[in-house]
């Protein structure tokens, strides 16, 4: 279904680069997530209040927070599409990380609130138990969540998007949480204590923990997390295979959103060679680095007293 929708709503033209196309796919998946989660919230919240189940109410608000996550992912991907301007010469790609940070805070707040509500309802034994309608809605919810999980798992693998990873993990936890509600609803008929409140507490942890992990990961990137060592190793390989490069130092790489990296490095070259010859080789290295790693790098030439015959 996603392939059909992407062909219908995303018109890929010759002038659309891979970065923009990637963000368009993230936007479409976010829109699908919003629609599904709002539908699930309405169904579960109505059911939870009717049968007085705190666990189902918690699960409903979990779906509502999921829709907020998808909405903010949609907002973040749209802002990231904006081209570079005078105020932001490297583009707006980092807005994806800023939005992810805000999303993580919202998720943690929702998880904490659900935990407090579940603890307060622990002494309340008023639960009407599971009905056929309850069973159908919860099973339907899991079916939707399995679809969201599989879709975002594929997109995360294809696009390397932290937003899709967050949605994927969140959907996985929702599947586990809803399954726990089903089990708890069935067991409630055979126990005297309020198992529904216990399930509500468990669900609150399933909501809170992914938010905490997303907060830690996003904060690390915004504070200047080191790029993948494979990229640094590839740059090292390209520089050192050059006939004119004696060595290099001060390699710095900065990420401005997924797929947008820029950096600089000082390459040591023989001092006896002409500037023109060294400049041609430096340009060649810069082009090769971009071709192999997609890093737009600026190389500073450092003359060093190691003589190479100028042919």
pTM over 0.85: no
Looking at residues 53-76, what average pLDDT do you find? 78
CATH superfamily for 2-222 is: Cation efflux protein transmembrane domain (1.20.1510.10)
Distance CA 35, CA 51 (A): 25
Q: Where in the chain is the domain with CATH 1.20.1510.10?
A: 2-222
Strand 261-270 to strand 247-255: parallel, antiparallel, or no bridges (unpaired)? antiparallel
**Residue 276 class from Cβ within 10 Å (0-12 exposed, 13-18 middle, 19+ buried)?**
exposed
| Average pLDDT score, the chain | 82
Residue 242 above 50 pLDDT?
Answer: yes
Residue 156 above 90 pLDDT?
Answer: no
Q: Where in the chain is the domain with CATH 3.30.70.1350?
A: 229-304
Residue 249 above 90 pLDDT?
Answer: yes
Model pLDDT, residue 155: 87
Residue 205 above 80 pLDDT?
Answer: yes
Residue 298 above 80 pLDDT?
Answer: yes
CATH 3.40.190.10 fits 229-304, yes or no: no
Model pLDDT, residue 14: 45
Q: Is residue 229 a contact partner of residue 264, using CB atoms and an 8 Å limit?
A: no
Place of tokens 């927070």: 65
pLDDT digits (tens, 9 = 90+) for 114-149: 788 788 877 665 555 567 777 888 888 899 999 999
């Amino acid at each position: 279904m996603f392939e059909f929708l992407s062909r219908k709503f995303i018109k890929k033209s010759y002038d659309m680069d891979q970065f923009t196309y990637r963000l368009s796919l993230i936007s479409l998946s976010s829109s699908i997530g919003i629609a599904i989660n709002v539908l699930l919230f309405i169904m579960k919240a109505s059911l939870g209040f009717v049968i007085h189940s705190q666990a189902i109410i918690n699960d409903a608000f979990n779906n509502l927070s999921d829709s907020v996550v998808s909405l903010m992912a949609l907002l973040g991907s749209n802002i990231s599409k904006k081209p570079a301007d005078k105020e932001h010469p490297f583009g707006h790609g980092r807005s994806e990380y800023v939005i992810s940070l805000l999303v993580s805070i919202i998720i943690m707040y929702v998880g904490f609130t659900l935990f407090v509500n579940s603890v307060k309802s622990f002494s309340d034994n008023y639960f009407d138990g599971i009905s056929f309608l309850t069973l159908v809605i919860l099973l339907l919810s899991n079916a939707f969540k399995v679809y969201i999980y599989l879709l975002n798992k594929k997109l995360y693998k294809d696009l390397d998007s932290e937003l899709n990873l967050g949605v994927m993990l969140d959907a996985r936890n929702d599947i586990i949480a809803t399954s726990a509600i089903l089990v708890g609803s069935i067991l409630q008929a055979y126990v005297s204590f309020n198992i529904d409140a216990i399930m509500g507490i468990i669900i609150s942890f399933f909501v809170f923990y992914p938010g905490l992990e997303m907060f830690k990961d996003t904060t690390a990137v915004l504070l200047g997390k080191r790029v993948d060592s494979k990229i640094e190793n590839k740059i090292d390989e390209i520089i050192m295979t050059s006939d004119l490069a004696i060595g290099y130092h001060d390699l710095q790489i900065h990420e401005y959103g997924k797929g947008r990296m820029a950096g600089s490095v000082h390459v040591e070259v023989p001092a006896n060679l002409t500037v023109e010859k060294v400049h041609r080789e430096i340009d060649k290295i810069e082009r090769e680095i971009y071709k192999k790693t997609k890093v737009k790098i600026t190389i500073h030439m450092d003359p060093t007293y190691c003589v190479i015959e100028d042919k």
